Chain A
Amino acid sequence: MVSQTTKIMIVVAALAALAIIVPNTNSFVILLATRALAFAILVMSLDILLGYTGLASLGQAAYLGVGAYMTAILATKYQFGLGYDFWLVVVFGILGGAALAAVFGLLAIRASGTYFLMITLALGQCVWGLAYRWNSLTGGDNGINLRQRPKFGIDLANEVTFFYLVFAFFAVSLLAMYVLVRSPFGRSLTGIREQELRMKILGYNTWLHKYIAFIIAGGFGGLSGVLWAHTAGIVSPENVVLTTSVDALLMAVLGGAGTLVGGVIGSFIVFGLREYLSTLVPWWQYVLGGVYVLTILYLPSGLMGIPERIRQRRLASSNKAADSKKLAAAS
């Protein structure tokens, strides 16, 4: 078993390597990494629900949508958030995501399992419907183009500077979520995932715990949306469509649910496959579909779960060897 300190050191080293290597590559890779990091915040927020609380949400893209549309509308209609007031937009985005989650959570938290999937799907579709149809506010199917990125002392139009900004937000989010899941509150979430009834009997208000986790996830989703809007330069119904929510789920499962960093790995793999492969071959979607099928069938604990599975396999085979030795000695 690798100790917790070693694990943290590995993650810190990997992030440092990312921060050093990416800016020295070409602009294609920089943009790809920026996208993956911005989206990874959403995936990690989903992992708090999925991996730590045991709630699989099919509508997480809604919170990304709120943050992204808020940013785009403020920037294009009111010229707001393009200078130092960008930081205000960040706060608004987080509050907007959290507020939406606070409303949706009231409806959704009572349900569990399949019904939770379905109700979050319905809620996500509500947001998609508004984004798609409310032309005067959201630009409908065409979405909203953001013509410029914020400028405050540093110019975010520079892709390397912007990468570092997103990276910083990502690192802070990762740290905050890590502290959250290791806190007593996070421990009780895990308890709810494992045995909700037992937690209730112990006197925990499990509904409130789940509700708060849902709101926190929504807040991080909103933050991810603010960053996404400036990363992509366009916000459209495509960002809140069902498949975006499903993508986030797959990324969390592919990396390994309940690990936080697994979602980041998943995000990089899926974005890498989609953006890089689609420039090479027209049949890239077979690979994406294949990744879904293979992950779900053969790798349900995700990439982060591989060492554990190998260890168990070794344990099983060494037990078998010991047994057969005993048998040989007996006979």
Chain B
Amino acid sequence: MNLNFWIIQTFNGISYGALLFLLGSGLSLIFGVMRIVNLSHGSYFMLGGYVALTVIWTTGSWALAIPAAALTIAVVGLVMERLFLRSDGFESVRNALIAIGIAVLISLAIGGWRTFAEVNWMQFIPVAAVAAIAVFFLLGRISVIAIEADPLRQVLLTVGFAFLFQQAALDIWTGNNFDINPPPALTQSIVIGGVYLPLYRAFMIAVALVIGLMLWLVMEKTRMGAAVRATVDDAQMARGVGVDTSRVSMFIFALGAFLAALGGVIGGAFLGIYPGLDFEILPLAFAVVIIGGMGSLGGAAIGALIVGLADNFGKALFPEISYFTLYAPMALILAVKPTGLFGRE
């Protein structure tokens, strides 16, 4: 255990923290603005990686995969927020989507088809159409009780989506493990003072720094950012003075999904992309948010750094209790200061 060990572990910890910042900052903002505990945030991370793989397989361009994946998942997040996480507006679109989903499953079950590959479309489409219309009218008769005020229902709803995303990913991208290979220019090592440091991890830190700076500028210097900060502090008051909190929520949810997917693409190079990644990374994102304080960008940055370092050193120094050393302080911080180290009251 010499100096090199400490340098390399610190470097690894910081670069892992950079990745966690991408994941955690979005989660933190979503919580701060909407008070929604989003358990499908890990799914955005995983789906981002998968979409990037598809883009790389079809176009061969890694640089194109990053924005393509992040934007795709941002749209997924946007749709999920607008249709499902809020009870008013677009009720019929929501009911129609659910009705179609149920109808597809019903007709698969009735036809005895195990997968879509076996489906006989001439029989499938009429059955599905009849079922969809029936379910649509049934759902229309059930009144939906507002979900905004109930954190438990939000948690369970987002978990439901996480399961749906998991199965969809399994169907589309199979259950194999994949690696996202960055261009060779980024996979070299740089030597500083006799220590070999992988360039890719330096790249991750740089991305997090740039994104962090951009987020800070947007939050502090733009009108939208001011609206977001006002909504975090007091949503009711913000509405009162004319901030369109509904638009702020949509913007923040899409931004959070965008950042998580970006993390998935970038992290996919050394974590790999595989089924189950979503629920593996999710608790770490929560650790970041809790330690840093919900709704605070600076808090997310420091929380990510702490979690990244604690995770790395914990695994290197006390492997047997490494996760315990991560989550126990998190529980303690929550017990002593529920708003996190840097959260606002």
A interface list, Cβ under 8 A from B: 50, 56, 58, 106-108, 110-111, 113-115, 117-119, 121-123, 125-126, 128-130, 132-136, 241-243, 246, 249-250, 253, 280-283, 285-298, 300
- Chain A residues near B323: list those with CB within 8 A: 125-126, 128-130, 132-133
Q: Tell me, in angstroms, the Cα distance from A113 to B153 when the chains sit together.
A: 12
- Chain A residues near B84: list those with CB within 8 A: 293, 297
- Which of A56, A281, A286, A293 contacts B151, CB < 8 Å? A56
Q: Is the CB of B167 within 8 A of A283?
A: yes
Q: Is the interface of B mostly helix, strand, loop or mixed?
A: helix
Q: Is B75 an interface residue (CB 8 A)?
A: no
- Which of B37, B39, B287, B335 contacts A110, CB < 8 Å? B335
- Which of A58, A106, A118, A288 contacts B163, CB < 8 Å? A288
Q: Is B155 an interface residue (CB 8 A)?
A: yes
Q: Is the CB of A115 within 8 A of B105?
A: no
Q: Is B290 an interface residue (CB 8 A)?
A: yes
Q: Tell me, in angstroms, the Cα distance from A134 to B335 when the chains sit together.
A: 25
- Which of B101, B156, B287, B331 contacts A253, CB < 8 Å? B156
Q: Is B320 an interface residue (CB 8 A)?
A: yes
- Chain B residues near A122: list those with CB within 8 A: 286-287, 290, 327, 330-331, 334
A-B contact pairs, 16 of them (CB 8 A): A107-B332, A113-B151, A114-B35, A118-B290, A118-B334, A122-B334, A125-B283, A126-B327, A128-B323, A136-B320, A242-B283, A246-B39, A249-B155, A253-B152, A292-B159, A296-B147
- Which of B114, B171, B321, B334 contacts A119, CB < 8 Å? B334
Q: Tell me, in angstroms, the Cα distance from A158 to B151 when the chains sit together.
A: 44
Q: Is the CB of A133 within 8 A of B35?
A: no
Q: Is B191 an interface residue (CB 8 A)?
A: no
- Chain B residues near A133: list those with CB within 8 A: 319-324
Q: Tell me, in angstroms, the Cα distance from A134 to B321 when the chains sit together.
A: 6
Q: Tell me, in angstroms, the Cα distance from A89 to B249 when the chains sit together.
A: 51
Q: Is the CB of A296 within 8 A of B157?
A: yes
Q: Is the CB of B327 within 8 A of A246?
A: no
B87-100 to A contact mask, C-beta < 8 Å, 1/0: 00000001000100
Q: Is the CB of B326 within 8 A of A129?
A: yes
Q: Is the CB of A107 within 8 A of B331?
A: yes
B313 to chain A, nearest CB (A): 14
Q: Tell me, in angstroms, the Cα distance from A114 to B84 when the chains sit together.
A: 19
Q: Is the CB of A249 within 8 A of B152?
A: yes
- Chain B residues near A294: list those with CB within 8 A: 98
Which chain A residue has the least Cβ–Cβ distance from B42? Answer: A242
A113 to chain B, nearest CB (A): 6
Which chain A residue has the least Cβ–Cβ distance from B102? Answer: A290
Q: Is B317 an interface residue (CB 8 A)?
A: no
Q: Tell me, in angstroms, the Cα distance from A128 to B322 when the chains sit together.
A: 11
Q: Is the CB of B282 within 8 A of A290?
A: no
- Chain B residues near A129: list those with CB within 8 A: 321-324, 326-327
Q: Is B110 an interface residue (CB 8 A)?
A: no
B26-47 interface (Cβ within 8 A of A): 31, 35, 37, 39
B109 to chain A, nearest CB (A): 7
B239-281 interface (Cβ within 8 A of A): 279
A261 to chain B, nearest CB (A): 20
- Chain A residues near B282: list those with CB within 8 A: 242
Q: Tell me, in angstroms, the Cα distance from A260 to B98 when the chains sit together.
A: 29
Q: Is the CB of A115 within 8 A of B338?
A: yes
Which chain A residue has the least Cβ–Cβ distance from B322? Answer: A133
- Chain A residues near B334: list those with CB within 8 A: 107, 111, 115, 118-119, 122
Which chain A residue has the least Cβ–Cβ distance from B283? Answer: A125
Q: Tell me, in angstroms, the Cα distance from A126 to B333 when the chains sit together.
A: 14
Q: Is the CB of A282 within 8 A of B114?
A: yes
- Chain B residues near A283: list those with CB within 8 A: 105, 108, 115, 167, 171
Q: Is the CB of A293 within 8 A of B142?
A: no
Q: Is B190 an interface residue (CB 8 A)?
A: no
B143-163 to A contact mask, C-beta < 8 Å, 1/0: 011010011110111011111
Q: Is B139 an interface residue (CB 8 A)?
A: yes
Q: Tell me, in angstroms, the Cα distance from A12 to B254 when the chains sit together.
A: 50
